[in-house]
Amino acid sequence: MKALVIVGDGIADRPIPELNGKTPLEVANIPNMNKLAQMGISGLMDPVAPGIRAGSDIAHLSIFGYDPFEVYTGRGPIEAIGAGIELRQNDVAFRCNFATADNNFNLLDRTAGFIREGNEELAQALNKLQLESAKGVQLIFKVSADYRAALVLRGRGLSPKVADCYPRTGEPIKEIRPINRTKTAYKTARILNEFLKKSHEMLKAHPINQARIQEGKLPANVILIRGGGKLSKNMESFSKKYGLTGACIAGCGLIKGVFKLMGFDVIEVPGATGYIDTDVDAKGQAAVEALKNHDFAIIHVEGSDEVSHEGMLEAKIKIIERIDSMIGKILDQINLEETYVVILSDHTTPISVKDHTADPVPITICGPEVRKDGVQAFNENTVVLGGLNRIRGSDFMPILLDLMGRAKKFGA
Ligand SMILES: [Zn+2]
CA 166 – ligand 1 centroid, Å: 18
Q: How many angstroms separate the alpha carbon of residue 346 from the centre of ligand 1?
A: 5
Please give the distance, rounded to the nearest whole angstrom, from the Cα atom of residue 347 to the centre of ligand 1: 6
pLDDT in the model for residue 252: 87
Q: What is residue 82's predicted lDDT score, i.e. its pLDDT?
A: 85
- 55 alpha carbon – ligand 1 mean position (Å): 6
DSSP string, 70-137: HH---HHHHHHHHTT----TT-EEEEEEEEEE-TTSBEEETTTTT--SSHHHHHHHHHT---GGGTT-
Pairwise CA distance, residues 365 & 322, whole Å: 20
User: What's the CA-to-centroid distance between 58 and ligand 1, angstroms?
Assistant: 9
pLDDT in tens, 5-29: 999 999 999 999 999 999 999 999 9
Ligand 1 centre to CA of 267 (Å) is 19
Categorise residue 74: left if φ over 0, alpha if ψ from -120 to 50, beta otherwise. left
What is the rounded CA–CA span in Å between residue 376 and residue 33?
10
Task: Kindly tell me the burial class for residue 235, based on how many C-beta atoms sit within 10 Å of its own C-beta (0-12, 13-18, 19 or more).
Answer: middle
In angstroms, what is the span from residue 207 Cα to ligand 1's centroid?
34
> Distance, CA 200 to ligand 1 centroid (Å)?
29
Q: How far is the CA of 53 from the centre of ligand 1 (A)?
A: 11
Give the model confidence (pLDDT) of 29-58 as tens digits. Answer: 999 999 999 999 999 999 999 999 999 999
- CA of 253 from ligand 1 middle (Å) equals 12
Distance 391 CA to ligand 1 centre (A): 18
Distance 299 CA to ligand 1 centre (A): 13
Using the 8-state DSSP alphabet, how is residue 407 labeled? P
Distance from residue 263's CA to the centre of ligand 1 (Å): 20
pTM of the predicted protein model: 0.83
Centre of ligand 1 from the C-alpha of residue 113, in Å: 20
Residues, Cβ < 5 Å to ion ligand 1: 9, 56, 305, 346
Q: What is the DSSP letter of 268?
A: -
Centre of ligand 1 from the C-alpha of residue 348, in Å: 8
CA of 314 to the centre of ligand 1 (A): 19
Which domains are seen in the chain, by residue range?
2-72+234-403 (3.40.720.10), 79-229 (no CATH)
Please tell me the distance between residue 5's alpha carbon and the centre of ligand 1 in angstroms.
Answer: 14
What's the CA-to-centroid distance between 401 and ligand 1, angstroms?
23
**Ligand 1 centroid to 128 CA: how many Å?**
33
- CA–CA separation, 383 and 374 (whole Å): 9
DSSP code for 162 = B
CA of 338: how far to CAs of 105, 285, 296, 402, in Å? Answer: 56, 18, 12, 14
pLDDT of residue 353: 96
Distance between CA 260 and CA 171 in Å, rounded? 35
pLDDT confidence of residue 305 = 95
Low-confidence spans in the chain with pLDDT less than 70: 234, 272-277
Q: How far is the CA of 340 from the centre of ligand 1 (A)?
A: 22
**What's the 18 CA to ligand 1 centre distance in angstroms?**
24
**Å from CA of 198 to ligand 1 middle:** 32
**How far is residue 301's CA from residue 2's CA, in Å, rounded to a whole number?**
21
Beta bridge partners of 64: none
Distance (angstroms) between ligand 1 centre and the Cα of 10 equals 5
The C-alpha torsion from 74 through 75 and 79 to 80, rounded to 10°, is -20
Rg (CA), the chain: 22
Distance 22 CA to ligand 1 centre (A): 21
In which element (H, E) is residue 167 found?
A: none
Measured in angstroms, how far is the CA atom of residue 251 from the centroid of ligand 1? 13
pLDDT of residue 273: 65
- Look at residue 274 in the predicted model and tell me its pLDDT: 61
Q: Is the dihedral of CA 204, 208, 213, 214 positive or negative?
A: positive
120 CA to centre of ligand 1 in angstroms: 25
What integer pLDDT is reported at residue 233 of this predicted model? 72
Cα(159) to centroid(ligand 1), Å: 27
Nearest C-alpha neighbor of 302 from the set 260, 348, 255, 264:
255
Residue 398's φ and ψ, nearest 5 degrees, are -55, -40
Distances (CA, A) of 370 to 69, 363, 397, 403, 407: 31, 14, 15, 7, 15
CA of 79 to the centre of ligand 1 (A): 13
